[in-house]
Amino acid sequence: MTMVDDPHGITTTRREIEYAAATLGDHLRGRLDRLCRAAGTADPEGRYRDSLTELLGAGADRPLSAPAPPSRVSDDHTPAEFSVTFPGGDRPRVRVLTEPGCGAATLAENGRLGQLALQRTARSWDFPLDPLRRVETLFFPAAPQGTFALWCAMELPATPGTPGFKAYLDPAVHGPQHTADVVEEALARFGCARAWPLLREHVAARYPDDDRFAFFAVDLGPWAAPRVKVYVAHHRFDLDGVRRVAGLFSERCGRQAVEFCRIAAGTDRFDRRPPVSCLSFTGGDPGTPAAYTLHLPVRDHVTDDGHARDRAASLLRRQGLPTGLLDRALGAVSRRRPVDGVGLISYLSLVQAPARPPRVTVYLAPEAYRVAPAQVRESRPVAILSRESSPRIRHAHPPAS
Ligand code: TRP
């Protein structure tokens, strides 16, 4: 087997590259392997790979040359997204989000396929699906509405063991006008009813026009403290909004969230994709949020991924963390140079919880179908731009790998 050095310094075998070209599953498994190696996460029996295959459903066997499925997990409709989370004081973790039913003709079928994939995964790792069952009748009606049925995520442990899993559900499943009712009911089923007034009156205070309930999520598997999570997307948001919402948890949380946005977005207005708040609740005190997370769609605020990488690196350095893994992760998920496109880093997020250091997460799009062209950097001198012959629009997807 020939060893090949790619430009990002990750050594791959020739066979792996050829293998990577055939199906979406191959493409994503190859990237998971590389990401695990970059993060020093061992997958001794290939069981994480197998679980990824399971969680991709029929998407795993889709030829990479076929059109993209109608998934909203990623901008280019790849039904998967990777992320690396950097807990201060603990080892980074590799995660992947998927849509197992992405090829289905209806949302109902999409939900069935998603449940099936989770059932198989639960059987092979031996964990119960009880948390999902609690909200089954709410989120899987006979004729679901909304934009997706079921997304799944897997978080790999730093040392070999059972991954943590998560199921994401759509609060718009009974129509966009009922999202608040659905979230209120879902929280009640987990004993979190006391949290509802805070959410409805303060976090989603501008509901239904600007604040929208985007996701409801439940943890599955061996989490130390399994959570349920409510996500609110804030359309037409600004730094005052960030200060107001994050400041509900503590003054410090508000300050840190504003600082995070300043570094990650470099602006005080967010009028493209909405920043997304996430409140998590655990069994210990189900009425009080255990953590507050702000997700920022960094790809809307940068010219290219070199720029997004620098923003992510600043956030990590601010937590006193090294940036080597960030660069290795970018090289593991993509073969292009970060400056040659935008959207490889889709979101940056900051989790804040009492008595824990803030946790930065970098979300990485596999770009199996398309790379969005980099924008021209405004700071570049005009003279250099006009002399440049390279085209500004690049469909930079290298031949299927
Ligand atoms: N692609 C979708 C979006 O941008 C869903 C999504 C993927 C998302 N990763 C995310 C939403 C992280 C919030 C945070 O909305």
One-character DSSP codes across 209-245: TTEEEEEEEEEESS-SS-EEEEEEEESSEEHHHHHHH
The tokens for 255 are 């300050």
Distance 272 CA to ligand 1 centre (A): 13
Q: State the pLDDT at residue 32.
A: 98
Q: Whose CA is nearest to atom 14 of ligand 1?
A: 295
Q: What pTM did the predictor assign? A: 0.90
The mean of the pLDDT values for the chain is 91
- Taking the CB of residue 194, how many other CB atoms lie within 10 A of it? 14
Contact indicator for 34, 48 with CB cutoff of 8 Å: no
Distance 235 CA to ligand 1 centre (A): 14
Distance 381 CA to ligand 1 centre (A): 34
Per-residue confidence at 9, pLDDT binned at 50, 70, 90? very low
CA of 233, closest atom in ligand 1: 13
Distance 295 CA to ligand 1 centre (A): 9
CA of 276, closest atom in ligand 1: 13
For 197, the enclosing helix (H) or strand (E) is helix 196-198
Nearest alpha carbon to residue 231 among 284, 170, 286, 141: 170
Q: State the pLDDT at residue 44.
A: 85
Distance 388 CA to ligand 1 centre (A): 35
For residue 18, what are the contacts with CB-CB under 8 A and spacing of at least 6? none
CA of 231, closest atom in ligand 1: 13
Q: Whose CA is nearest to atom 7 of ligand 1?
A: 73
Ligand 1 site: residues with CB under 6 angstroms?
72-74, 81, 276, 295, 346-347, 363
Distance 323 CA to ligand 1 centre (A): 23
CA of 83, closest atom in ligand 1: 9
The tokens for 344 are 């490889």
Contact indicator for 156, 95 with CB cutoff of 8 Å: yes
Contact indicator for 217, 171 with CB cutoff of 8 Å: no
Q: Whose CA is nearest to atom 6 of ligand 1?
A: 73
Distances from the Cα of 173 to the Cαs of 137, 138, 148, 149, 315, in angstroms? 11, 8, 8, 8, 36
Helix (DSSP H) and strand (DSSP E) numbers for the chain: 13, 14
Nearest alpha carbon to residue 114 among 178, 177, 71, 74: 71
Q: Taking residues 166-183, what's their average pLDDT?
A: 98
Q: Whose CA is nearest to atom 9 of ligand 1?
A: 73
Q: Is the CA virtual torsion 234, 351, 182, 140 positive or negative? A: positive
Q: State the pLDDT at residue 376.
A: 83
Q: State the pLDDT at residue 89.
A: 86
The tokens for 401 are 């790998």
Q: Whose CA is nearest to atom 2 of ligand 1?
A: 73
Distance 362 CA to ligand 1 centre (A): 12
Q: State the pLDDT at residue 261.
A: 97
For residue 6, what are the contacts with CB-CB under 8 A and spacing of at least 6? 12, 331, 335
pLDDT > 70: what percent of the chain?
89
Distances from the Cα of 164 to the Cαs of 96, 132, 220, 382, in angstroms? 11, 14, 6, 50
Contact indicator for 81, 73 with CB cutoff of 8 Å: yes
Distance 73 CA to ligand 1 centre (A): 6
For residue 367, what are the contacts with CB-CB under 8 A and spacing of at least 6? 74, 76, 78, 334, 336, 341, 343, 344, 397
Angle (CA) 91-92-98 rounded to 5° is 140
Nearest alpha carbon to residue 99 among 81, 121, 84, 83: 81
Q: State the pLDDT at residue 400.
A: 38
Q: Taking residues 238-248, what's their average pLDDT?
A: 97
Q: What is the pLDDT of residues 70-96, one digit of tens each?
A: 999 999 999 999 999 999 889 999 999
Distance 301 CA to ligand 1 centre (A): 15
Choice from 75, 76, 78, 81 to test ligand 1 binding pocket (greatest atom count within 8 A of CB): 81
Q: Whose CA is nearest to atom 8 of ligand 1?
A: 73
| Rounded distance between C-alpha atoms, residue 370 and residue 304, angstroms | 15
- Taking the CB of residue 188, how many other CB atoms lie within 10 A of it? 13
Q: Which of 34-43, 108-117, 239-248, 389-398 has the lowest mean pLDDT?
A: 389-398
| Rounded distance between C-alpha atoms, residue 364 and residue 50, angstroms | 20
CA gyration radius for the chain?
21
| Rounded distance between C-alpha atoms, residue 31 and residue 186, angstroms | 35
